[in-house]
Amino acid sequence: MLVNKLPLFNTVWIVFVKEVLCEYRTGYALATLVMFALVTLSSIGMSIAGIPLSSELTSVLLWVIIFFCAMAGLGRTFIEEEETGTVFTLRLYFHYQGIILGKMLYNITLLVGITCLILPLFTIFLQVEFPSWGALLPVLLLGDIGIGVVSTLMAAILKSAMGKHSLFTILTFPIVLPQFLSAINATSAVLSGRGPTISEILAMLGYDSIMILAGYMFFEFIWHE
């Protein structure tokens, strides 16, 4: 029996709203991200105890915290579909591209929200001042998009794998490493007062675009594995 699938934009929005509502009811990912961020920031802050940090080390610490927050909370992106048996419904009524884009949008939104929580706490615990928020925000947004997109794709690939939670971080890090290093360099440039170069911003934008396009093109094959 042929079923008319919902339009792509509608699918993206419905999947995004579904993820938001599920998170509102359970609070699993958000609580995990928030607790990890708080514990990590307070531990680092007490360990450093006011010691001045270089711009390079400060950038590394910021992005390590953001990355591992993502690893702690975004790995369950497709597990709920397997546990509740909604996979068949999604396959029947929704476009594959809309499913992956909707979940990417949700993960990016969640990670951006956590980053907004981390930043003020980061400045307080580590006594860091950012010279230019206008230069920093695009770097944070592009970095969060890259981590969120790759995390979503890896969660889809590993949704039925044994030991998926352990494999998630191990396999995600090498793929996100180019964006991770670009984000660290660009953030270090902001902290040093010179700001990121156009080439650094374009490199981050290009990475995000390639990863989103890869998910859009190949998710149907990943979904059936």
pLDDT at position 84 is 66
Are 30 and 70 in contact, with CB atoms under 8 Å apart? no
- The answer to whether position 2 is within a domain reads no
Q: Which domain holds residue 153?
A: 8-224
Look up residue 85 and give its DSSP letter: T
Are 135 and 196 in contact, with CB atoms under 8 Å apart? yes
Percent of the chain predicted with pLDDT > 90: 32
| C-alpha pair distances (Å), 65 with each of 122, 165, 181, 222 | 10, 18, 14, 29
Domain count of the fold of the chain: 1
Residue with tokens 């490199």: 203
Percentages of the chain per state (helix, strand, coil), in multiples of 5? 80, 0, 20
- The answer to whether position 172 is within a domain reads yes
pLDDT at position 211 is 94
| C-alpha pair distances (Å), 126 with each of 39, 61, 62, 146 | 14, 10, 10, 25
Are 86 and 6 in contact, with CB atoms under 8 Å apart? no
The tokens for 62 are 């910021």
Taking the whole predicted model, whether its pTM rises above 0.75 is answered as yes
Q: pLDDT digits over 46-70, tens only? A: 877 667 778 888 899 999 999 988 8
More confident position, 141 or 169: 141
Per-residue pLDDT band for 183 (boundaries 50, 70, 90) equals: very high
What are the DSSP calls for 160-190, one per residue? T-TTHHHHHHHHHHHHHHHHHHHHHHHHHHH
Measured CA to CA, the distance from residue 87 to residue 102 in angstroms comes to 15
CB atoms within 10 A of CB 25: 8
| Mean predicted confidence (pLDDT) in 178-191 | 93
| Mean predicted confidence (pLDDT) in 23-32 | 76
Cβ neighbors of 52 (< 8 A, separation 6 or more) are none
Q: pLDDT digits over 78-96, tens only? A: 777 766 667 677 777 777 8
Per-residue pLDDT band for 159 (boundaries 50, 70, 90) equals: confident
| Ranges 131-145, 152-166, 198-212: which has the least confidence | 152-166
- The answer to whether position 1 is within a domain reads no
- The answer to whether position 139 is within a domain reads yes
Residue with tokens 């419904």: 89
- The answer to whether position 191 is within a domain reads yes
The pLDDT mean for the chain works out to 84
Per-residue pLDDT band for 185 (boundaries 50, 70, 90) equals: very high
pLDDT at position 85 is 66
